[in-house]
Amino acid sequence: MTGGQIAGLIAAIAFLLLVIFIGIFLLRLTQTFGEINKSVGVITSDVDVLSKQVEDIMGNANELLGDVNHKVATIDPVFQAAADLGESVSDLNMATRNLTDRVTNTNKKNGGKFSFATKAATSAYHMYNNHSAKKQQQPSK
């Protein structure tokens, strides 16, 4: 065997080994892709199941939200009436305070004349009531 033949034989063996290793690599790669494909199939079916469940949940949530909106719209006038009532009570309270302040200030300005007049009017009223009561108790002649 000559040097060229030995080199050719070595090159042929190296090429054969390269082909074998590439074949083994491709077989493993094919197996890996097969497993990935199976996993993707399982994942795809799981995603389909989850998608259907999410659609059901979203439908129920939409119904619940519609029901809540309807009920809130039903009780809205009650809260509006309560707010209006609170505002009216606040206005009445403010008017009462203003009137009390005015009466107090007027009494202070008049030096107690108003309270004297009030006492005098109260006394006159009681005297009139007593007189009327006595008149009704007397037998008529």
pTM of the model: 0.37
Contact between 95 and 103 (Cβ < 8 Å): no
Q: What one-character DSSP code corresponds to residue 139?
A: P
Q: Is the pLDDT of residue 112 over 60?
A: no
Residue-averaged pLDDT of the chain = 84
Determine the pLDDT at residue 47. 79
- Angle CA(109)–CA(126)–CA(111) in degrees, nearest 5? 10
C-alpha dihedral, 24 to 30 to 33 to 35, nearest 10°: -90
